[in-house]
Amino acid sequence: QIALSEPNNYSFPENFIFGVATASYQIEGGWNEGGRTESTWDYQLHKNPDLIVDKSNGDVACDSYHKWKEDVQLIKNLGVNFYRFSISWSRILPQGFKGSEINQEGVTYYNDLIDELVSKGIEPYVTIFHWDTPQALESQGGWLNESIIDDYTYYARVLFTLYGDRVKTWITFNEFHQICEEGYGLAKKAPFENLTGVADYQCGHQALLAHSRAYRIYEQEFKPIQGGNVGVVIDSVYGAPKTDSELDKNAAELQMQFDFGWFFNPIVYGNYPQVMIDRIDELSKREGYNTSRLPKFSDNEIETMKGSFDFLGLNHYTTNLCTLIGSNNFPNPSHARDCSVETSADPSWKPSAASWLWYVPWGMRDVLVWIKEHYNNPPVLITENGWATRGKRLNDTDRIEYIQNYLSEVLKAIYEDNCNVLGYTAWSLMDNFEWTRGYTEKFGLVHVDFNDPNRTRTPRQSYSFYQEIVRTRRLVNK
């Protein structure tokens, strides 16, 4: 018996679309097959298995490199409109860099997948980069080296050329925040660097420039012929004030600007949020740097960046409460100190199997409204949303309740707040390699048996539940 938090009789708008998502390193395996070379994730985990709680890696993962037809059948049976997956850069360009040779076996793998999707009436939504930088580029500094901008735009152009006749929805990057803050600031994602307050901002700068140039290449050279759209995915933990006080409201706003505005402000308005520029300038001076730790965009770059999106892809899972605390509570320098907000979870919130993920359905509506108000109601596609469980648990009523009530908040945002929401994507189609949590945390509508060489897939109850929502286009109170 799954109850709606409040009665909600809206049905999804006629053009609202539904999908499911995955990412290459998390599902494919086949790490050294078909001419693929190591990505930063392969390299790091082969070198040091201790980085992952269960010492696992993505060498085999869900074996989608071989089982992609079965995956497409599961997506077909689910009845969704689109499948959001990512392409492994080092499968297409084993040497990574600009001008390097295209690997035909890699090209064929995605051609087959895309053709199978299209033949079954499922639209391919392609994420160009979901964290698996070719190690050949990472070894030269990865996102800290500005030459990666040219490497990335070459790679993006190769994909537009190869697949753009069938792929009409492109996503340049998945979650700058995770790539840069976790990857180069806090050593929680590959390449596991910890230079927060410096390297995170440099990474963000190259990645934003790479995004905007790829957007313009598509707009100028491909869109007139292929007619597709290019968006970008940004993740947001919604920052809510801890209490009603003005101070806490300021803290929540600051948190949103430092985590979400850091990336979306440049893409909409051309530059970093003014509050970030000012605070980082000021702190850098106090810390004795002779220039700001936050890099600056040139006038040309600002023009290229401004408005470089056709839709915002929003990954939203959870909410944090925000309150201001003194900058001396944080390491010097650090992104956290630049923001100086303490975040926490309300003790009453239901925790998931993931330490960072609490059940807070109203945060979905609030984050959509916050985005509407700050960026002039842009088109938003929810590109990820999901719940973490442990073990096989086919009877995943907590995941069902999560999806039901988060979607209920999406409907309120659409009908009561006039937010421009295009569609919803469940993370994930199936259990997969959950980064440093290995195979211990499950996000799948479909269970995958990682002890079985065949990687047998078994749909959970949430799979049938989501199937029913997609079919009826409304929430059902079971």
Binding site for ligand PNW (CB under 6 A): 23, 26, 174-175, 178, 235, 237, 315, 317-318, 356, 384, 427, 434, 443
CA 218 – CA 241 distance, rounded (Å):
39
Question: Least distance in Å: CB of 233 to ligand PNW?
Answer: 7
Hey, what are 183's tokens?
């990857």
Nearer to ligand PNW, 136 or 186 (CB): 186
8 A C-beta contact, residue 67 and residue 132 = no
Minimum separation from the CB atom of position 382 to ligand PNW (A): 12
Residue 363: name the closest of 275, 276, 255, 462 by CA.
Answer: 255
6 is catalytic: no
Contact 363, 316 (CB under 8 A): yes
Cβ-count burial of 443 within 10 angstroms (0-12 exposed, 13-18 middle, 19+ buried)? Answer: buried
What is d(CA 459, CA 162) in angstroms, rounded to the nearest whole number? 33
User: Smallest gap, in angstroms, from Cβ of residue 26 to ligand PNW?
Assistant: 6
What is the C-alpha to C-alpha distance for residues 24 and 31, in angstroms, rounded to an integer?
Answer: 10
Task: Looking at 169-261, list the stretches that DSSP marks H as alpha helix, in order from N- to C-terminal side.
Answer: 176-177, 199-217, 223-226, 246-256
Q: How far is the CB of 220 from ligand PNW (least distance, A)?
A: 29
The secondary structure of residue 429, as a DSSP letter, is S
With respect to ligand PNW, which residue has the nearer C-beta, 21 or 162?
Answer: 21
Q: What contacts 328, CB < 8 A, 6 or more positions away? A: none
Considering the candidates 384, 401, 434, 441, report the single residue annotated as catalytic.
384
Which of 175/301 has CB closer to ligand PNW?
A: 175
Residue 127: CB minimum distance to ligand PNW, A: 9
According to DSSP, the residues that pair with 11 across neighbouring strands are 474
CB 367 within 8 Å of CB 314: yes
Identity of the residue, 164 or 444, whose beta carbon is nearer to ligand PNW in the bound complex: 444
- Coil, helix or strand for 216? helix
Q: Which CB atom, from 12 or from 89, has the smaller least distance to ligand PNW?
A: 89
Which tokens belong to 431? Answer: 């259990």
Q: How crowded is residue 211: how many other Cβ atoms within 10 Å of its Cβ? A: 29
- What letter does residue 287 receive in the DSSP assignment? T
Q: Quote the CA–CA distance of 419 and 16 in Å, as a whole number.
A: 13
Q: Which residue has the tokens 């639209």?
A: 123
Whose Cβ is closer to ligand PNW: residue 129's or residue 218's?
129
Active-site entry in 38, 116, 138, 175: 175
- Name the amino acid, one letter, at 126: V
The whole-angstrom separation of Cα 100 and Cα 370 is 43
Cis peptide bond prior to 191, omega within 30° of 0 = yes
Cβ nearer to ligand PNW, comparing 95 with 178: 178
Q: Rounded CA gap, 255 and 259, in Å?
A: 6
CB of 222 to ligand PNW, least distance (A): 25
**Minimum separation from the CB atom of position 33 to ligand PNW (A):** 22
Which residues neighbour 296 within 8 Å (Cβ) at sequence distance 6 or greater? Answer: none
Residue 268: C-alpha distances to residues 127, 277, 295, 301, 379 (Å): 20, 16, 18, 13, 12
Beta carbon of residue 257, minimum distance to ligand PNW (angstroms, whole number): 17
Nearest residue to ligand PNW on Cβ basis:
235
User: Cα angle vertex 68, ends 116, 54, to 5°?
Assistant: 155
Say whether 384 is catalytic.
Answer: yes
Residue 45 C-beta: closest distance to ligand PNW, Å: 15
Q: Which residues are catalytic?
A: 175, 384
